[in-house]
A and B are shown apart, each in its own frame.
Chain A
């Protein structure tokens, strides 16, 4: 009886293989909006302002303001970098006093307490990166009601709980950057595969769907073989990437990692298979995990955003909101050395195209 049951289970695997003979792509079924092939800005459907407005805010135009930055947590490289960008912008502006203060671990309750204390003690502006978009909303609304200017970056709250949100990268922008870099490294007539967390992880599925749409539009000869899942587990990611190499052999010219876990693991798989230079790895990852592979020339481009620029932009947006030079309905905002940044999706400000880390610049980042 036992033998039969186990063999039946084995048979089920084989039978299901017939049913699912087509490769899995891992994208979602939502509509896609691929950007133009040549880098011109994509079409953005105009959407009315959906952010909040501070109640009876004093006239802060040109006056010195005190700003507190409450990131998800402090003490990690990523938010040290955003703090650095804010300090840089504050120095350029000359009339902003900014400091970063927040929980030492990414905890929404602690973050709310920090913000609440600053609302009570009185500041002119609050910058935040939310640990939870919904849970943080009430305390931010309390800040708006107290006449404080509120701007988010990195991780959003519900729109009506802050004035503006600085969005580091849009899905179609990330997809374009990944596919363009991949095509540049492996050529137009090559085949690639993707390692993702799971097919149902919303961000990853969105990026993959946008990648497929952009590749079909701008690099039609690129062959998208399949997507494999590896959760957020680096040894599993390594095994899955190695299995892709074993399965496709010489045909596989590139692997795209969709998570900061999968990308270094894929680079390691290529390294241990002795295929550096033959199989390209492109992906979303943080610079620290990728440095060994970039420095050994095994990986050429790592796509993410520059957190220093993100903090810098957030500071300029907050100043513009406090000055009243950035109002609901505006379509762009001036952000110092970054130039004019676009307003998208009602009340979000787009940082711009994703940042590509390569051998020339990766050493300057520590997160």
Chain B
């Protein structure tokens, strides 16, 4: 009962429309931004909305959207993972190494997912049972993974990947597989978050951990499982990342964790925990990809992308705080 109140309390006194907007308002705004951006840039540079460029936009950042699903769950539960960029770099290297060492491709796809879950579960245990703040644990993990990757690979690239390993280059009904992964995983995660008891307990823990405990939610175990699910998505993102090109650069992609966290936050996930959806984070990842592409079409320096990302973060965090003040 108190679990229900924790999630619904906010909207109980308002009408259906307001309640829908309170849940999905951010998604509508991001969607509107995407539409406005496509129409505006499309009018200036028609090739921007050509099918090939739309494919580039959706495919190129699908792995970020997938990683942002797991990240959103972690942030909604009141934690954070700043090591996810390094983790994806390490998992991509593991996957590629297995693929070129002659292991079957399904094994090279599965291993990073399993290893990802093991690593993030370990983070989850330290956070939930040892009670170290997640930012501290993952900052440590960031150094371990980044340093370990450089020491082990010496920065050498992985080449000669087998063609049937390159799953991100497959197409189904003419649509590249990363887009399918992004849509299906977002849909499944959104339903999981909304309609399962476990999904709702993620919100409950992030909203008020003590209330969740009183309501009978095993907070520690659930936290570890949230991190494990986050590792699952990081693993899938790593496979998409690794199989997009014919070479894997054995380094950590610059600023990847920041991009993933930004997608979650701009997508409406409250940095203070308790609210947000994975649909929002996926839309935000698409918005970033579209902004990045539009900068080239409009002959604007790519430096603006970071400035715009920063503005969007500030705007959403301020809006989130304002909303909480109004309600709290």
Q: Which residues from chain A sit less than 8 Å from chain B, CB to CB?
A: 1-3, 5-7, 9-10, 12-14, 16-17, 20-24, 73, 75-76, 104-105, 198-199, 226, 228-229, 231-236, 238-240, 242-247, 249, 261, 264-265, 268, 271-273, 288-289, 291-292
- B157 → chain A, closest Cβ, in Å? 6
The residue that A12 contacts in the complex, of B50, B293, B311, with Cβ under 8 A, is B311
Given A13-B294, A17-B300, A243-B296, check contact A2 B247 (CB 8 Å).
Answer: no
Of B3-11, B36-44, B188-196, the one contacting chain A is B36-44
Interface residue? B53 (CB, 8 A): yes
The residue that A238 contacts in the complex, of B25, B245, B322, with Cβ under 8 A, is B245
Interface residue? B298 (CB, 8 A): yes
State whether A233 touches B254 (Cβ < 8 A): yes
State whether A264 touches B247 (Cβ < 8 A): yes
In the assembled complex, the Cα of A22 lies from the Cα of B299 at a distance in Å of: 7
When distances are taken between beta carbons in the complex, the residues of chain B under 8 Å from A9 are 308, 311-312, 315
Interface residue? B23 (CB, 8 A): no
Q: Which residues from chain B sit less than 8 Å from chain A, CB to CB?
A: 25-26, 29-30, 32-33, 36-37, 40-41, 44-45, 47-48, 50, 52-53, 56, 60-61, 63, 150-151, 154, 156-157, 159-160, 169, 241, 244-247, 249, 251, 253-255, 291-304, 308, 311-312, 315-316, 318-319, 322
In the assembled complex, the Cα of A228 lies from the Cα of B292 at a distance in Å of: 11
When distances are taken between beta carbons in the complex, the residues of chain B under 8 Å from A228 are 296, 302
Q: Is the interface of B mostly helix, strand, loop or mixed?
A: helix
In the assembled complex, the Cα of A35 lies from the Cα of B107 at a distance in Å of: 53
The residue that B159 contacts in the complex, of A239, A271, A288, with Cβ under 8 A, is A288
In the assembled complex, the Cα of A289 lies from the Cα of B248 at a distance in Å of: 10
State whether A3 touches B301 (Cβ < 8 A): no
When distances are taken between beta carbons in the complex, the residues of chain A under 8 Å from B319 are 1-2, 5
The residue that A234 contacts in the complex, of B33, B50, B245, with Cβ under 8 A, is B245
State whether B56 touches A235 (Cβ < 8 A): no
When distances are taken between beta carbons in the complex, the residues of chain B under 8 Å from A236 are 253
In the assembled complex, the Cα of A13 lies from the Cα of B60 at a distance in Å of: 21
In the assembled complex, the Cα of A144 lies from the Cα of B60 at a distance in Å of: 53
State whether A247 touches B36 (Cβ < 8 A): no
Across the two chains, which residue of chain B brings its CB closest to A229?
B302
29 A-B interface contacts by CB (under 8 A): A2-B319, A2-B322, A5-B311, A5-B315, A5-B319, A6-B29, A6-B33, A6-B312, A6-B315, A7-B36, A10-B37, A14-B40, A14-B41, A16-B300, A20-B298, A20-B301, A21-B299, A235-B241, A235-B253, A238-B60, A238-B244, A238-B245, A240-B296, A246-B53, A246-B56, A268-B247, A271-B246, A289-B159, A292-B160
Across the two chains, which residue of chain A brings its CB closest to B322?
A1
When distances are taken between beta carbons in the complex, the residues of chain B under 8 Å from A6 are 29-30, 33, 312, 315-316
In the assembled complex, the Cα of A235 lies from the Cα of B61 at a distance in Å of: 9
The residue that A235 contacts in the complex, of B30, B36, B245, B302, with Cβ under 8 A, is B245
State whether A289 touches B247 (Cβ < 8 A): yes
In the assembled complex, the Cα of A288 lies from the Cα of B282 at a distance in Å of: 36
State whether B157 touches A289 (Cβ < 8 A): yes
The residue that A239 contacts in the complex, of B41, B48, B60, B247, with Cβ under 8 A, is B60
